[in-house]
A = this chain, B = another copy of it.
Amino acid sequence: MTGNRTGVWLVGARGSVATTAVAGAAALRAGVLPPTGLVTALPDFAGIDLPALDDLVFGGHDVVVSHPAKRAELLTRAGVLPSGVAGLVVDDLIAADAEVRPGAHADAPDPQWAVVERLAADISDFRRRNGLRRVLVVNVAATEPPVVPHAAHADWSALEVELGRGVVLPPSSLYACAAFLAGCGFVDFTPSTGARLPALHQLAVERGAPYAGSDGKTGETLVKSVLASLFTRRALRVRSWSGTNLLGGGDGANLADADRAAAKAASKAVVLERLLGHPVEGGVHIHHVEDLGEWKTAWDHIGFEGFLGVRMTMQFTWQGCDSALAAPLVLDLARLLCLADGGGPVPELGFFFKDPLGVVEHGLEAQYAALVRWARR
């Protein structure tokens, strides 16, 4: 084990976000592009003892097999990777792909304890094999439906018993469990259950494993988290805020499944009420438009009331590339989680999430200030 070499173990390692993160880290190391979109490259984070991009080593779990060069080509065609970058980073993608192990299926055969042990062993082997000082596990797999409640979710010793008997956890929680058993930090970049069960919280604290989540804030919710203060600071009353999200490709298809969309919409809805201080009608609607591919377009319509009750309107359209927005944050989170002391949630990382764990602040400015204060402490 030498210096600050840090493993980034990506759950969903062959998906677009993971591939973009690995390709991007390689491109930045090669010095061909500036670190746009990478929060930890901002001057506020200068001088903090974070692992350098050169220190990051990638591996992960996935339930599918695909060729890294092919993935890079598809991302290039979709406009996620600039032309020329794929050729430059293909060796890094191949190296990372060689560190990918088979993931956990939702319908894997019982009992789950064997699965968790195998996942944890994959992570530990990766660490040992690459002489890494630490490994952080980041879930960038597809969004799961909400978890079916189970009594054993409340307590680690009960859960340990149940895992030995059958199926009690969704895949995202198996990964969180494996990460903690391997003594690694865990980040949930999706709205899936992940570490958000009392039993897994106990385990994390016990093993000294930090965790953060949930659901990366990369688009419509990000806009909300700055825009809301316009209304609250100026005493303008928001009467309705209706959001429509057109999502393409993988994420869109996945969220077209009503159950999963429910998980996503719930994680988005809470934000607005917290930001504005009162419930507001309108809702968030997610529609799948295959043709948009890696891109998403959000349209929000805000009806508000000013002096003497005059009604006014604001609308915005956000046309973003999902993987390009998420990937640098994956690198940021892996780097920043290295700064955590001890086990349990790290509320100061709430800046990155739609549904921050352990904290109620959703305003981006306040979240950023808390993050910098924590990182520089």
Contact residues of A with B, CB < 8 Å? 20, 23-24, 27, 33, 35-39, 41-42, 76-77, 79-83, 85, 222-223, 225-227, 229-230, 233-237, 239-240, 242, 244, 246, 281-283, 285, 287, 289-292, 297, 299, 301, 303, 305-310, 312-321, 324-325, 327-328, 351, 363-366, 368
Contacts and interface: CB of A to CB of B under 8 A. Distances in A.
**Copies of this chain held together in the complex:** 4
Contacts of A41: 235
A235 B313 CA distance: 27
A191 to B, nearest CB: 20
Given A36-B306, A39-B235, A307-B328, 8 more contacts: A76-B83, A80-B310, A240-B291, A281-B290, A285-B287, A291-B303, A308-B324, A365-B365
A364 B328 contact: no
A82 B309 contact: yes
Given A83-B77, A281-B290, A312 B307 contact: no
Contacts of A366: 365
Nearest to A327: B307
A291 B287 contact: no
A307 B20 contact: yes
Top 6 nearest A-B pairs by Cβ distance? A37-B307, A365-B365, A316-B316, A310-B324, A240-B291, A244-B244
A313 to B, nearest CB: 4
Nearest to A42: B235
A368 B315 contact: no
A34 B156 CA distance: 51
A229 B226 CA distance: 7
Contacts of A363: 365
A228 B285 CA distance: 25
Contacts of A236: 36-37
Q: For A41, A240, A290, which residue has the most chain B Cβ atoms within 10 angstroms?
A: A240
A314 B312 contact: no
Q: Is the interface of A mostly helix, strand, loop or mixed?
A: mixed
A360 B282 CA distance: 35
A341 B59 CA distance: 62
A310 to B, nearest CB: 4
B235 A308 contact: no
A328 B235 contact: yes
Contact of A307 (B24, B79, B282): B24
A327 B309 CA distance: 13
Contacts of A318: 314
Contacts of A310: 79-80, 82, 321, 324
A357 B317 CA distance: 33
A244 B233 CA distance: 24
Contact of A364 (B83, B85, B233, B237): B233
Contacts of A312: 319-321, 324-325
Contacts of A319: 312-314
19 contacts: A24-B308, A33-B309, A36-B237, A36-B305, A37-B235, A37-B307, A38-B307, A42-B235, A77-B83, A82-B310, A223-B227, A281-B291, A299-B315, A306-B325, A307-B325, A312-B321, A313-B319, A314-B316, A315-B317
A235 B35 contact: yes
Q: For A226, A229, A292, A316, which residue has the most chain B Cβ atoms within 10 angstroms?
A: A226
B289 A242 contact: yes
Contacts of A20: 307-308
Contacts of A81: 308
B85 A308 contact: yes
